[in-house]
């Protein structure tokens, strides 16, 4: 049995993404380049903001699917598959990003993804679209994973119904 959950964007993610997109596109079009800059360098400098936008867009979290002992996180063009066989707990918590430090990843351009650290949770991987509440998945063999399905309570129930967590 599989179950699908949407990954709605928080207002903060919408605002950060909109403003960052506008800023990066403005840099692309408005960046003054000195006359002595070679054409290859000029093209590279103008293309860099577009490459950043495209790269971040690829990692957008679109939805979560629970199926056959796996959590499938749908991205823009692919799926990240996370086995749930070593899941020990699934907990819906408010504010998992409170005072969290991003150690490597994206802090709001189309998603909150990557690796973070928080004193109470330790090092964790985020595959999220909001920071106010989330489901924290704890494993026996890896760091926790934080996800933000549209129905966190239903998500936790669905995971517990599979016999994991």
Residue 17: which pLDDT band, with cuts at 50, 70 and 90? very high
Residue 16: which pLDDT band, with cuts at 50, 70 and 90? very high
Among residues 121, 131, 118, 114, the alpha carbon closest in space to that of 59 is found at 114
Residue 161: which pLDDT band, with cuts at 50, 70 and 90? confident
Domain residue ranges of the chain, discontinuous segments joined by +:
10-58, 84-161
Query: Helices 11-30 & 39-58, crossing angle to 10 degrees?
Result: 170
What is the rounded (10 degree) CA torsion for 64, 120, 92, 12?
Answer: -60
Residue 42: which pLDDT band, with cuts at 50, 70 and 90? confident
Model confidence at 37: pLDDT above 70 = no
For residues 97 and 112, the model is more confident at 112
Task: Report DSSP state, residue 138.
Answer: E
pLDDT in tens, 69-78: 999 999 999 9
């Amino acid at each position: 049995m599989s179950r699908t959950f949407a990954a709605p964007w928080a207002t903060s993610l919408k605002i950060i993404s909109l403003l960052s997109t506008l800023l990066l596109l403005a840099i692309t079009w408005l960046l003054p380049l000195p006359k002595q800059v070679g054409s290859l360098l000029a093209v590279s400098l103008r293309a860099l903001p577009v490459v950043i936008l495209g790269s971040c867009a690829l990692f957008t979290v679109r939805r979560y699917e629970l199926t056959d002992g796996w959590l499938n996180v749908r991205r823009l063009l692919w799926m990240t598959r996370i086995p749930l066989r070593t899941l020990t707990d699934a907990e819906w918590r408010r504010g998992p990003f409170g005072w969290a430090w991003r150690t490597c990843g994206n802090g709001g351009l189309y998603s909150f993804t990557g690796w973070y650290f928080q004193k109470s949770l330790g090092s964790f991987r985020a595959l999220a679209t909001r920071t106010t509440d989330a489901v924290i998945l704890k494993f026996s063999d890896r760091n926790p994973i934080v996800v933000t399905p549209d129905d966190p309570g239903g998500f936790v129930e669905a995971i517990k119904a599979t016999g994991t967590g």
